[in-house]
Amino acid sequence: MTARIIDGKAVAAELRAAVAGRVATLGYRPGLVVVLVGDDPASAVYVRNKDRAAHGAGFESRTIRLPAATSEAELLAVIAGLNDDPQTDGILVQLPLPRHIATAAIIRAIDPAKDVDGFHPENVAALALGAPRLVPCTPRGVMRLLEVSGTPVAGRRAVVLGRSNIVGRPMAALLLSADATVTIAHSRTRDIAAECRRAEILIAAVGRAEMVKAEWIGPGSTVIDVGINRTEAGTLVGDVDYQAAREVAGAITPVPGGVGPMTIACLLENTLDAAIARRSC
């Protein structure tokens, strides 16, 4: 039996529409500001997509574009201005930043109440303590996909492949908060295939094209593929060998069209949450 396909594109469209519906009742337009430093082409595409989605949902959205030579002090000054601006509910600094800027210092400078990426240490701590506030968009999107696909989480064995600060770690924390039994696997894990095979929920976030083979997948499990990898032929593939995995898994996300669209939809949700929390204070 082939796996059910979890259609992230459709779920994300519904979520964006739901956010737009809630924005329409607010009486104000939540403000999202994306800061882009330099001219990385992939970042430029992401930022354009975020801006388009934000406008589509009725947000006041703008992008501040700064030259690659912007100093750390100049960027900190821009952030300080946005922290003080009452019309700005969400601030997102597009990563990666140019090498001469200390990313951690920039993230720390963002008002945690406006940190819609959920990367500020205060928001990271809140999630780790089991009382999440603004949580990173990609893991939030994955949790939504598990929910809408009817995948039970509480009490289930979940394996997260990857331990980055933006995906793996917050993903594991969210699954733990949802009462899963969580294993985090990474480049130092022994017999990673065996760890994965035990999973009832497998989240792959390693950035290695089609690393997860069909034999790594537990029959009937739910497989969520966060990876986005470009092959030499120029096509996009995930971290999971999708065609083979479909024959074993119970449900699976495609790449593209799985987790990717959820990330932006959850950014809108985070911005809406931030606006409501801030403006009701």
Q: Which stretch binds ligand NDP (CB under 6 A): 25-33, 118-126, 157-165, 267-275?
A: 157-165
CB 171 within 8 A of CB 142: yes
Tell me if 260 contacts ligand NDP by CB under 6 A.
yes
List, in sequence order, every residue forming a beta bridge with 92; answer none if it has no partner.
Answer: 34
The binder of ligand NDP chosen from 206, 212, 223, 224 (CB under 6 A): 206
Q: Which stretch binds ligand NDP (CB under 6 A): 10-18, 92-100, 199-207, 215-223?
A: 199-207
**Which residues fall within 8 angstroms of residue 187, CB to CB, at 6 or more apart?**
none
How wide is the angle at C-alpha 146 spanned by C-alphas 194 and 238, nearest 5°?
A: 60
The binder of ligand NDP chosen from 202, 224, 228, 266 (CB under 6 A): 228
Tell me if 157 contacts ligand NDP by CB under 6 A.
no
Size (the chain), residues: 281
- Cβ at position 34, least distance to ligand NDP in Å: 15
The binder of ligand NDP chosen from 207, 236, 244, 278 (CB under 6 A): 207
In angstroms, the CA 40 to CA 152 distance is: 39
- Cβ at position 195, least distance to ligand NDP in Å: 10
| Tokens standing for residue 215 | 């034999």
Q: Which stretch binds ligand NDP (CB under 6 A): 25-33, 95-103, 123-131, 187-195?
A: 187-195
CA 184 to chain centre: 17
- Exposure b/e, 179-204, CB count within 10 A at least 16 = b: ebbbbbbeeebeebeebbbebbbbbb
Binding-site residues for NADP(+) sit at 162-164, 228
Which residues form the interface with ligand NDP (CB under 6 A)? Answer: 138, 161-164, 166-168, 186-188, 192, 205-208, 226-229, 259-260, 263
